[in-house]
Amino acid sequence: MFAPLVIDAAGTPDVTFPPGHPGAGDDEYRMHRNEIAAAALAYRDGDPLPDIGYTPRDHDTWRRISAALASLHREFASTEARDAAERLALPADRVPQLSEASRRLEHLTGFTLRPAAGIVPLSEFYGSLADCMFHATQFIRHPSKPLFSPEPDMVHEVIGHGTTLASSRFAKLYRQAGEAARRAGNGTSLKAVSRVFWFTLEYGVMEENGQFMAYGASLLSAYGELQSFRGVEIRPLDVRDMVTRPYDVTSYQPVLYAAESLAHLEDFLGEFSSGVDGDTGDRLGLVPGEKW
């Protein structure tokens, strides 16, 4: 449930929260979100990344979710992700600026972050990965629900994706997905790239010492799902099964896919990504126009 962002003729954004969204009815939070969206919309290539005036509520929310996730990562996150988090060394006591996280990532793996006001078109989002650039929102979830966000906020972008992008092995998989997306064009082949990305770099798990451990950014940044993912159906990696599986971004995933190891994941994604072209979607039986 991404809160829709309306942009008027003068380019001023206005975010609206649907009923049931934690921010519904909180005008102060809505104005803050509008300011953050406006900064992203004003951003142009080559500009310094905009610094956000985070509020005491934002910092408090970050502190709470950051501490909760850190303790879950010790139990449920893959070794590669935990090591990468240590290298990224995000602050736990305040919201980091996107510019800080981006500088750190650039130093570690060459990836940089770019501000996103809201949903970025798929071809642009995935294509940028080929240039080692990741589109990231800068807002923080509503303080009334610190352990849940209906949208990808800074916690998802930086603690989830930032952590994995701080690993040169995961960063290479993101880049390969971006190169595959560029070759895919804008039809069903891009859908295939997006689905495989979803079930690996967003929601993937891998075996480690007989346990399933999370490496996907969505799991690493989801307080509830990270504790419960071992109870869902976990299947071996399978491209055809992934790309034809309906999925719902608004609820817990009922099926996940496990790699046998990080090397197995690299082989699987390397083979898939390098083979993507404009006909991949057709070969996998995806139907143009079908909802995805």
Cβ within 8 Å of residue 2, ≥6 positions away? 118, 119, 150, 151
Which single residue is written with the structure tokens 């995806």? Answer: 286
Nearest to 219 by CA among 233, 203, 235, 208: 203
Catalytic residue among 32, 73, 142, 161: 161
The answer to whether 192 and 286 have CB atoms below 8 angstroms apart is: yes
Ranges of beta strands (E only) in the chain are 5-7, 13-15, 112-115, 133-136, 205-208, 211-214, 233-236, 255-259
Q: Is 71 considered catalytic here?
A: no
Residue pair 23/31 in contact by the 8 Å Cβ criterion: no
Task: Give the Cα separation of 241 and 238 in Å (integer).
Answer: 5
CA atoms within 13 A on the CB side of 40: 24
Catalytic residue of the set 128, 221, 225, 273: 221
> According to the annotation, is 21 in a ligand binding site?
no
Q: Does 264 appear as a known binding residue?
A: no
Task: In whole angstroms, give the CA distance from residue 247 to residue 250.
Answer: 9
First vs last Cα of the chain: how many Å apart? 15
User: Residue 207's beta-bridge partner residues?
Assistant: 212
Does 271 appear as a known binding residue?
no
Would you call 156 a catalytic residue per the annotation?
yes
**Measured distance CA(236)–CA(169) in Å, rounded:** 20
* Catalytic residue selected from 78, 102, 156, 157: 156
Q: Which of 80, 151, 202, 225 is catalytic?
A: 202
Q: Which residues make up each annotated binding site for Fe cation?
A: 156, 161, 202
Q: Which residues make up each annotated binding site?
A: 156, 161, 202
* Residues with a known catalytic role: 156, 161, 202, 221
